[in-house]
């Protein structure tokens, strides 16, 4: 299993393939911008056959998945790597870091788009193996685009891996298990829990711990059910993911939809309550004005009666 620190800075010795204008992501594989519409994903170590295999596996998995509105678009295979569509809004991880006041409604919608996409991926017998916000891009309309498919393709008959891109989750998304190389749909669902937590809380789980240096501590917390406080929206969904209580991504999607519906009902009730209060206030105001108008009319009538009585008295005199 790989535990790679993602780097932002360049290495003077790193090799950049021809045509790459700028390296926009670094890790076990780099992503280099070719132009305003495409990028090249290539291995950071051209001498490691394992990384080269991962690139080829990703190409085959993306071909199998085919075009999908929430999956990174494959443009082709090059000598140095695979060519993908360029998404200028970057990763969801960077976006929420730079937009900390993004609405909860949008965050929940992103979570639902992610699990719905994962449900489609699993139906194609693909295990993603590294679901996290760093591997989720945003398109021009800020919709989720799932990327980095160096995971598993499972046999439809035996369920065993036909292709393995060798990638596995980092410790903060890693479902504890004896065989660290094992992966399944359920390990993806565990990772989705950490992704949803990151989305709602605005930061990774256990932000005080390092995913590599504190790997054993993080693993122990997950094993013992020592989770962050559950004072955030959809915490019950996140904890069910971490406790392995979901059978499918579709079940997670249904629970997210329920949270969205409840929040909408509450907002509608509050909105209607405010409208009713405004209407009642307007009616009360009208009643006050009518009462004042009636009072003034009564006073005028009384004054007129008094004047008539005075006139009659003067005539008698």
For 204-235, the pLDDT digits (tens) are 999 999 999 999 999 999 999 999 999 999 99
Q: Domains of the chain (ranges plus CATH)?
A: 17-86 (3.30.200.20), 88-284 (1.10.510.10)
Q: What is the pLDDT of residue 267?
A: 87
C-alpha 282/C-alpha 267 separation (Å) is 22
- In this prediction the pTM is 0.83
Q: What is the pLDDT of residue 283?
A: 64
Selected residue with higher pLDDT from 217 and 316? 217
Consecutive H or E run containing 81: strand 81-85
- Check: CB of residue 134 under 8 Å from CB of residue 91: yes
- Check: CB of residue 243 under 8 Å from CB of residue 222: no
- Check: CB of residue 145 under 8 Å from CB of residue 136: yes
pLDDT in tens, 169-215: 999 999 999 999 999 999 999 999 999 999 999 999 999 999 999 99
H helices of 44-184, in order, are 49-65, 92-98, 104-123
The CB-side HSE value for 62 (13 A sphere, CA atoms) comes to: 25
The mean pLDDT value for 287-295 works out to 64
Encoding tokens for residue 230? 């559950």
Q: Where are the beta strands (DSSP E) in 215-299?
A: none
**Residue 262 confidence (pLDDT) above 90:** yes
3-state secondary structure of 181: coil
Beta carbons within 8 Å of 123's beta carbon, 6+ residues apart:
none
User: How, if at all, do strands 22-25 and 81-85 pair?
Assistant: unpaired
């Amino acid at each position: 299993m790989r535990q790679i620190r993602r780097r932002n800075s360049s290495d003077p010795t790193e090799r950049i393939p021809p045509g790459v204008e700028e390296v926009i992501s670094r890790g076990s594989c780099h992503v280099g911008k070719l132009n305003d519409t495409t990028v090249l994903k290539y291995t950071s170590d051209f001498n490691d056959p394992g990384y080269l295999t991962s690139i080829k596996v990703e190409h085959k998995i993306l071909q199998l998945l085919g075009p999908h509105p929430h999956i990174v678009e494959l443009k082709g295979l090059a000598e140095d790597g695979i060519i993908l569509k360029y998404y200028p809004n970057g990763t969801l991880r960077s976006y929420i870091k730079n937009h900390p006041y993004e609405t909860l409604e949008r965050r929940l919608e992103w979570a639902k788009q992610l699990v719905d996409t994962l449900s489609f991926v699993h139906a194609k017998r693909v295990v993603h193996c590294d679901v996290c916000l760093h591997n989720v891009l945003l398109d021009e309309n800020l919709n989720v685009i799932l990327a980095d498919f160096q995971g598993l393709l499972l046999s439809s008959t035996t369920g065993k891996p036909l292709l393995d891109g060798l990638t596995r989750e980092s410790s903060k998304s890693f479902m504890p298990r004896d065989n660290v190389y094992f992966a399944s749909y359920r390990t993806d669902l565990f990772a989705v829990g950490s992704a949803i937590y990151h989305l709602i809380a605005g930061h990774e789980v256990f932000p005080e711990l390092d995913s590599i240096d504190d790997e054993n501590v993080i693993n122990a917390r997950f094993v013992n059910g020592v989770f962050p406080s559950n004072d955030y929206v959809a915490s019950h969904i996140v904890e069910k993911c971490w406790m392995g209580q979901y059978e499918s991504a579709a079940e997670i999607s249904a629970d997210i939809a329920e949270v969205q519906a409840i929040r909408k009902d509450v907002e509608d009730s509050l909105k209607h309550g405010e409208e009713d209060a405004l209407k009642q206030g307007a009616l009360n105001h009208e009643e006050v004005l009518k009462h004042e108008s009636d009072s003034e009319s009564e006073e005028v009538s009384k004054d007129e009666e008094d004047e008539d009585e005075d006139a009659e008295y003067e005539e008698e005199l």
